[in-house]
Amino acid sequence: MMNLGTILRPVDGLGLLTVSDQLVVGTTVHESVLLDQAVADALGSEGWAVRRQAAFESSHAMIGAIATRLGIAGDREIIDLATELYATTGLGQLRFELSATGGQVVGTDLLFGAGARERVGASFKARHAADAFAAGFAAAAASIAYPSDWGSFEADETECVAKGDPTCRFTLSRRPLASQLGEGLARSDAEQLLGPDQPPETDPPAIEVTTRDTISACVANERGVIRVADCRFAFLPAAYRAQVIYDTLHLLEKRVVTPNRARDDRAPRLAPVFLELVREATRSGAFQLVGNLVDSTPLRDVYGPPSTEANELLSRVVGVANAIGWGALTVGDHQPGKRLALSTPMTPEAVFYAARHGGTPQPRLPALQGLAEAVFLLATSVEWQGRGVDAQLYAELARSGPTLGVEELRSVLSGDRECEVVVSHVG
């Protein structure tokens, strides 16, 4: 199994990461499961189709870009590439059993299905299949390996461990024009959004470089699982996450959702609630991933234990956060325990929204808001140091910790030169 450093490449000065030319973001099992649940709660059965389509488009772009760059064209070679890519990025293990007419894919320890049981407990049983991303990824790999003018492959999950089945199993069949081929989210999209205002030529802080080296050294086990301490994490195409969020948001804002096809006036009111759930999912995942990296053995060996001094701790947390592909954060106003302003030239979600939908005067960066809240919590509370940051600790902090308010003050989507959010302790 390759380490992450063989495929991850930083976009210098922007805090973004790519695999080939496609932007990727670090995620945890907790964030992934919470985000999928938010989409399912918002859209019901339509949520599966939204997630699977986003997975197909983003995966097709990524697998296709890597195959083109490496000159891989044979069907089995492309399937082998997809299998190794899936496991290397920590998403689990896929075994393809198919031909040009269809077949099946068997999944082991998949981030979403197995992750749901890991997060909630072995006794948990979901009512619906959980692995829409794996379904879209498998269909994209099969469609590239066995192209046809008649149509692309589509995958249905017939067994899922989240539902109590012994394994995750997908049936692939070809559908006429079943899925459009997406462009993903490329480095060039970020450069176009940035325009002529290139980031300054400065070396990243040492803590960011060390964190990136720590992540690059990670190798998935034989089941395609990567952990930092007890935190399972992986890298997803940034286009997948962003497309799922904004497709769901726009459906809630504009689409007819009631069975009798009459407009439901509740739908627009659900949109802000959905954005809050996205923010919370990001906060939970970022708190655990960044916290475990900050307190990890490699960083302790180089820098010692995290400081309890507010500004030093904040500097360390921000340096680590900047290494996971969510954008290059810069600290503005900081009143320890009271207020924190963070800015960044752009985020993957901003790049996606600008490329697909253009600008907007509305706050549209829930992931940046959630990341900023996680940074605030990690830089304010010291209970997590030396303990290991897990879902239980986060739940305790959510119940008894500070009540936060977050405001999106500036955004490149509104014509500003950068994105800025402010987190405040409100109670």
pLDDT 10s digits, 153-185: 999 999 999 999 999 999 999 987 655 677 899
230 with 146, same domain: the answer is no
Contact status, residue 217 vs residue 293, Cβ threshold 8 Å: no
Low-confidence spans in the chain with pLDDT less than 70: 121-124, 177-180, 197-201, 255-268, 382-388
DSSP 339: E
Determine the pLDDT at residue 381: 74
269 with 215, same domain: the answer is yes
Domain containing residue 102: CATH number: 3.30.1380.20
Q: Is residue 42 part of a domain?
A: yes
84 with 38, same domain: the answer is yes
Q: Of the candidates 175, 202, 232, which is a domain's last residue?
A: 175
Domains in the chain, number: 2
Kindly report, residue by residue over 296-331, the tens digit of the pLDDT. 999 999 999 888 888 999 999 999 999 999 999 999
Determine the pLDDT at residue 264: 53
140 with 200, same domain: the answer is no
- For residue 105, list its beta bridge partners: 96, 170
Q: Is residue 4 part of a domain?
A: no
Per the structure, the complete domain to which residue 150 belongs is given by 25-175
* Entry pTM: 0.93
Determine the pLDDT at residue 262: 52
Q: Is residue 51 part of a domain?
A: yes
Q: Is the dihedral of CA 290, 291, 297, 299 positive or negative?
A: positive
Q: Is residue 14 part of a domain?
A: no
Q: Of the candidates 140, 175, 210, which is a domain's last residue?
A: 175
DSSP 226: E
Q: Of the candidates 145, 175, 205, which is a domain's last residue?
A: 175
199 with 128, same domain: the answer is no
207 with 82, same domain: the answer is no
Q: Is residue 1 part of a domain?
A: no
Would you give the distance in Å from CA 23 to the centre of its chain?
A: 10
Determine the pLDDT at residue 280: 95
How far apart CA 234 and CA 115 sit, in angstroms, is 11
Determine the pLDDT at residue 400: 80
Torsion of CA 29, 30, 33, 37, to 10 degrees: -170
**Helix, strand, or coil (residue 326):** coil
Angle between helices 391-400 and 266-294 in degrees, nearest 10: 120
Kindly report, residue by residue over 341-386, the tens digit of the pLDDT. 999 999 999 999 999 999 999 999 999 999 999 999 999 876 666 6
Q: Is residue 5 part of a domain?
A: no
305 with 267, same domain: the answer is yes
201 with 163, same domain: the answer is no
Determine the pLDDT at residue 257: 46
Q: For the stretch 201-214, what's the b/e string if a residue is b when 16 or more beta carbons lie within 10 angstroms of its beta carbon?
A: eeebbebbebbbeb
Mean of the per-residue pLDDT values of the chain: 90
Q: Is residue 116 part of a domain?
A: yes
Q: Is the dihedral of CA 55, 61, 62, 63 positive or negative?
A: positive
141 with 198, same domain: the answer is no
**Helix, strand, or coil (residue 195):** coil
208 with 168, same domain: the answer is no
Q: Is residue 310 part of a domain?
A: yes
Determine the pLDDT at residue 265: 55
247 with 376, same domain: the answer is yes
230 with 323, same domain: the answer is yes
**Helix, strand, or coil (residue 95):** strand
**Nearest to 364, CA basis, from 387, 348, 378:** 348
